[in-house]
Chains A and B, each alone.
Chain A
Amino acid sequence: MIRVALAAVMALICALPARAIEITEVTSPGGITAWLVEAHDIPFTALEIHFRGGASLDAPGKRGAINLMTATLEEGAGTMDSQGFAEATEALAAQFSFDVGDDSLNISARMLTENRDKAVDLLREALINPHFDQASLDRVRGQVQSIIASDAQDPNAIAGQKFRALAFGDHPYGSSLNGTADSVKALTREDMFDAKARVMARDRLVVSAVGDITADELGALLDRLLGDLPATGAPMPPRAELHLTGGTTVVDYDTPQSVVIFGQPGLAMDDPDFFAAYVLNQILGEGGFSSRLMAEVREKRGLTYGIYTYLVTRDLAETWQGSFASANEKVAEAIEVTRAEWARAAKGEVTDTELSEAKTYLTGAYPLRFDGNDQIAAILAGMQLNHMPIDYINTRNAQVEAVTREDVARVAKRLLDADALRFVVVGRPVGVKGDAL
């Protein structure tokens, strides 16, 4: 076990967030880097471990392998079977979660200070020595198959699936990371070890820790927990080409309320106009009860319970999307109003009041996110995954403040296009025709 003191390379005090947060970049003796915020008020530590690439690193023909592997990590490892691992976790009152998305595989841990070393040893077994034994694999496979079957009957999942297929085609983004019933059925134990080797490697690792732990303690923890992972994994997938076209796609489904997902091309977080688009999105559809779409579709007309838009910035593609649900008889009007608002927004005309309200919300809400060790750990991991500098927290609000009406107008005209908007409608919409694709 390595217990050598290490160098805290960089410490930075961020004045803006709620509690003045001091982020320290810690590099372990073995060379693993993590961002740390020490908070010794409550005797536990929140730890976030992310591997870039996530489920998009599935090997060709093995869709669903990384997801199934992730869900099976805790089902037996080292000297413990599945139940033994769960018992050991309970006995330490540690909490581990294993999850995977399109862009990263995420492990979140909460560990009490009083038994943190034991909790780390336990988690290490799942990360380094998982069994993927056939019985556990088949049991978890059954759970995944059940989710796939449920998604096939769930209007929200059907809409999401259709939209991603239209947008991204054959790229991994174009299909569910769960895989299909057939692809999951065919996965073997060997595929699990391969899937793990593709994604769980040190060259794509992002770590953050917040809580009752010092830099020295974290350094030792990193080497103990992650030092024996392989150095490299599979090459990252290519950028996803966006195949979206304007129009409407209807998926017939017998349900009283239609689910709608709509979207068009978006922009990357490092785009010079990103913050202008971010503010515009707030005005258009992100601002809850204050947004234009909520006012027009819900408050004035009662056509939906809620409508939201979001800038989706994945690692390998960007879209500007939104969603709502509306009774089959009303959904045509809701789509029409949405498209009209989109066209209005595309003109780029926002009032001074809209702009200043959006900015005060965004700048005021940002510090409120830093509330609790778990949230801060997740934010620090997200910053690293998005290649943000360690002082991003200090500059972020200034970037929001700097957005002018001209900036908003420019990005609106450049990007927003009601004719480029694709609506995917799942239900029995009255008066909505899908185009042939």
Chain B
Amino acid sequence: MVRASLAAAFLWFVAAPLWASPVSHFTLENGLEAVVIEDHRAPVVVHMVWYKVGSADELRGKSGIAHYFEHLMFKGTDTMAAGELSKTVAANGGSDNAFTSYDYTAYYQRIAADRLELVMKMEADRMRHLKISPDDWKTERDVILEERAQRTDSDPGALFGEQKNAAQFLNHPYGTPIIGWRQEMEALTRDDALAWYPKYYAPNNAVLVVAGDVTPDQVRTLAETYYGVLAPTPDLPERQRPQEPPQLAERRLVFPDARVAQPYLSRSYLAPERDPGDQKQAAALTVLAEVLGGNSATSVLGRKLIFGDGSAIYASAYYDGMAIDDTTFNLAVMPVADVTLPEAEAALDRALADFLKEGIDPAQFERIRTRIRASEIYAQDNTEGLARRYGEALASGFSIEDVQSWPDVLMSVTEEDVMAAAHAVFDKRHAVTGYLTRPEQEAAQ
């Protein structure tokens, strides 16, 4: 459901450094939340609508519907022909696209600031008035199958990741690929799309983000005109997904594929996500990923595996806490030519064990803090990036305050916090370790 702020006219600014873009926020009476990020350096605007629905909200057996539906959103309304939105945006010099994730689906246009009304009118139109003609949907299903072939089936690394993810999540839909399992995609129908649309594509399930050369008043006036008239979905369900049971057993898998040139191992641990109003643990894990694998020359894994024993070509750590439910902390190692995957894994485990004993080099910790501070300066140069940051967070249930306090939360993390997070997350019972190999190497192991 929508945040507590009563009706519209709620508008506020947040104190920030001189160079930071002003950000304002309001909610329409029908529940549409809006964020306006001002950047008057160029007469350009980014207009985004983020729906609070993603592949993790799909019914079992209908995997891929969230993403398939995203494609169908370009098929026209009573007043727009199929493809007309993109065509109109292009004819006005703009660009548009859309993307689907586990927790959200988003649509955006980038265009000259004086054309904001044009794109908002079209985006609002398809929020409630989409028409899927009986002719279009099968061709578009072929397109998503080609997309799956291109992105996943042609890439052993992507197939491996999909299998590994499925092993990580025993019950939660994060274990199902966003694009869908092929046999379920092949069976998706127009009726599935028509069932998906009216419930989730509604103003009270959406976040509007407008960033660029606009004022909050302008955006509010336009938003009231075009989005304000749309009917909300009554009794929108809470986003309750099936949760993970206690994970009690380490999982391991080997994925052989003749197309693999460089074998590597990848390990994920179940890890807590960022929580609205409580981001400390996720901040510690974010810093932990930087400490372990942020820079191959200075990180712990880089020092120990690439520069130290020389067992690895690449070593990395990755964590992104922006999720609604439990997510993963990820490690990957690509061994040098004469090191096997089991040897590389043993070296990784030694490196982790040593790190847990040795703790963090204070000089490295200080450099990471410097970079966190600087990244906020560099981020101001990318308005679209800022827009995505707010859209993703609000669509995932976070507040503006959560987004704006995140850099401070990161800066408040201590070395002790990071080590505590490391001790908590590195539990092999919650982990999946996968080897991506060539077939003959699998046989040799």
Binding site for B on A (CB under 8 A): 17-19, 39, 41-44, 46, 75, 82-83, 85-87, 90-93, 95, 110, 112, 139, 142-143, 145-146, 149-155, 254-257, 259, 287-290, 295, 298-305, 325-327, 330, 357, 360-368, 370-374
Contacts and interface: CB of A to CB of B under 8 A. Distances in A.
9 contacts: A19-B43, A86-B297, A90-B367, A150-B262, A151-B261, A255-B154, A302-B138, A302-B139, A305-B149
A182 B262 CA distance: 17
B298 A360 contact: no
A290 B90 contact: yes
B295 A86 contact: yes
Contact of A154 (B93, B112, B261, B382): B261
Contacts of A325: 146, 149-150, 154
B42 A303 contact: no
A289 B87 contact: yes
A299 B83 CA distance: 9
Contact of A374 (B141, B306, B364, B381): B381
Interface stretch (B269-277, B368-376, B425-433): B368-376
Interface string B364-397: 1011101101110110111110000000000000
Interface in B23-46: 41-44
A110 B378 contact: yes
A93 B95 contact: no
A257 B149 contact: yes
B336 interface: yes
A257 B86 contact: no
B6 interface: no
A139 B306 contact: yes
A433 B83 CA distance: 35
Contacts of A90: 295, 298, 367-368, 370-371
Interface string B145-169: 1110111011000000000000000
Given A90-B367, A357-B90, A361-B91, A153 B41 contact: no
A180 to B, nearest CB: 14
A390 B319 CA distance: 44
Contact of A305 (B111, B143, B258): B143
CB-CB nearest 6 A-B residue pairs: A364-B93, A302-B142, A93-B374, A18-B42, A86-B297, A153-B261
Contacts of B52: none
A290 B87 contact: yes
Given A150-B262, A364-B93, A368-B94, A302 B383 contact: no
Given A302-B142, A357-B87, A93 B371 contact: yes
A18 B213 CA distance: 10
Contact of B86 (A259, A288, A305): A288
Contacts of A357: 87, 90-91
B13 interface: no
B225 interface: no
Contacts of A327: 145-146, 149
Max chain B Cβ within 10 angstroms of own Cβ: one of A46, A83, A254:
A83
Contact of B44 (A155, A302, A371): A371
B92 A360 contact: yes
Contact of A360 (B93, B363, B380): B93
Contacts of A363: 93
B343 to A, nearest CB: 16
A86 B299 CA distance: 10
Interface in B83-137: 83, 86-87, 90-95, 110-112
Contacts of A362: 93
B11 to A, nearest CB: 24
B317 interface: no
Interface in B253-294: 258-262
Contacts of A152: 261
B86 A290 contact: yes
Contacts of B360: none
B363 to A, nearest CB: 8
A305 B337 CA distance: 36
B413 interface: no
A87 B154 contact: no
Contacts of B110: 368
Contacts of B336: 142
B373 A93 contact: yes
B108 to A, nearest CB: 13
A347 B150 CA distance: 32
A39 B87 contact: no
Given A302-B146, A325-B150, A327-B149, A43 B92 contact: no
Nearest to A18: B42
B440 to A, nearest CB: 14
Given A155-B154, A363-B93, A372-B381, A43 B314 contact: no
B62 interface: no
Contacts of B143: 298, 302, 304-305
B149 A83 contact: no
A289 B142 contact: no
B334 interface: yes
Contacts of B409: none
B2 interface: no
A92 B380 CA distance: 18
B90 A83 contact: no
B313 interface: yes
Given A41-B19, A142-B313, 9 more contacts: A18-B43, A46-B381, A288-B90, A289-B87, A290-B90, A290-B91, A364-B112, A365-B93, A367-B112
A143 B146 contact: no
Nearest to A326: B146
Contacts of B298: 83, 86-87, 90
A254 B290 CA distance: 38
B91 A143 contact: no
A74 to B, nearest CB: 8
B174 interface: no
Given A83-B298, A146-B334, A364 B378 contact: no
Contacts of B74: 289
A146 B258 CA distance: 16
Given A363-B93, A365-B93, A367-B112, A44 B150 contact: no
B224 interface: no
Tell me which of B139, B147, B298, B368 has the highest count of chain A C-beta atoms within 10 A of its own C-beta.
Answer: B298
Contacts of A326: 146
Nearest to A113: B377
Contacts of A366: 93
Nearest to A295: B83
Nearest to A299: B83
A309 to B, nearest CB: 16
A289 B150 contact: no
